[in-house]
Amino acid sequence: MARNPGLSSYAKDPKAAANSLVPLLEGAEGAVPQELQSETPLELGATTGLRMLKGNAAEKILQAVRDLVKNQSTFHTKDQWVSILDGTQEASYTWVAVNYLLGNLGKKYERTTATIDLGGGSVQMAYAISNKQFAKAPQDVDGKPYVHKKHLMSKDYNLYVHSYLNYGQLAGRAEIFKASRNGSNPCALEGYEGYYSYGGVAYKVKAPKEGSNWKRCRRLTRQALNVKAKCINEECTFNGVWNGGGGDGQDTIHASSFFYDIGAQVGLVDPKFPSAIVKPVQYLKSAKVACQTKAADIKTVFPNTQDRNLPYLCMDLIYEYTLLVEGFGLSRYKKIRVIRDVQYKNYLVGAAWPLGCAIDLVSSSLNKIRLSSS
């Protein structure tokens, strides 16, 4: 379960951050029988927003949450269960959740789907690779593995995972503004002038007199993504990151979060439905329309666009197209399914990492039980 606004929105008020979770606790207490609550583990994982807070703000918030859970909850919990997930965990849990809901877990890795989750602060890619690819998998620049072993539904998987911090949709805007060096920005809609705040920094945003230009915006986006970074391994995505080698586990792709949200705002996705098939080139076509529209007129052309995204619609669409095609190396005509929810039996379930975390924990526990009893 998730909560908006997130914990990071309360950087200066840890107690308010903790109290924002009370509705979630109450919801959980209503779902779990009272007699089982003391035996039911409760875990909280914070993600990108909290990871990016400066100083000790994140730890203060986590401690306030621990105190809240201890004092106001009857669930079984430990201090270490209230923590910040790293991007790799978040990405792998998303992959587990989506593949579980689709009924893929327990099948050969070739039958699983890759996942791309475009959040606000980071973007994550995860997909299963072959044993041959796993045998030659390198480590990242920090010496951490790109590939993790997963035992799920009696099946072993080699899961390639990478989280690109600072390359989510909202963070990506900041990277593009940095690349333009505070000059007029070709991604900004004609007639717009203002400030964009992210990570405690305010970036001046001013459109050129002649308006936005999708070609120049794309060049700036490629620069922000660092697509020409040196690749020390055989094949890379962007910013010098190993791409996992590709293969059957990447044949099918489910993309979530901002890919769905922005797609819905420009008509690529019908928000009445939990998912849709799109091609990267459709984001580019929508971008060309947005980029030639004045800021004052964009709501007329794309009436479903959220007000806070209006000045950045040209930029966001170019970013998503460039990320998919030049970042992750997908064909501009490749069919991908963008998702908000996944149909599971008679329910629509959010395509998010918390479910994957629970499944992974249960699978790990069952595996430990099997090992201890053998």
Catalytic residue positions, numbered: 90
Residue 38 makes CB contacts below 8 A (sequence gap 6+) with 74, 75, 76
Q: What are the start-end ranges of the H helices in the chain?
A: 14-19, 22-31, 34-37, 48-51, 57-72, 87-101, 131-135, 169-180, 214-225, 258-265, 280-291, 298-301, 313-322, 353-373
| 65/72 Cα distance (integer angstroms) | 10
Phi–psi pair at 119, nearest 5 degrees: -85, -165
**Cα atoms in the 13 Å half-sphere on the side-chain side of 247:** 22
Which tokens in the block code for residue 343? 């149909």
Residues 268, 283 contacting (CB under 8 angstroms): yes
Query: What letter would DSSP give residue 189?
Result: P
Give the residue from 226, 223, 214, 169 showing the smallest Cα distance to 187.
214
For residue 257, give the H/E element and its range: strand 253-257
**Residue 347 has what DSSP assignment?**
E
Sorted by sequence, the CB contacts under 8 Å of residue 14 that are 6+ apart come out as 57, 60, 61, 63, 64
Tokens 């995972």, located at residue: 161
Q: Say if strands 341-344 and 336-339 run parallel, antiparallel, or are unpaired.
A: unpaired
| Cα–Cα distance measured from residue 218 to residue 181, given in angstroms and rounded to the nearest whole number | 16
List 231's β-bridge partners, or say none: none
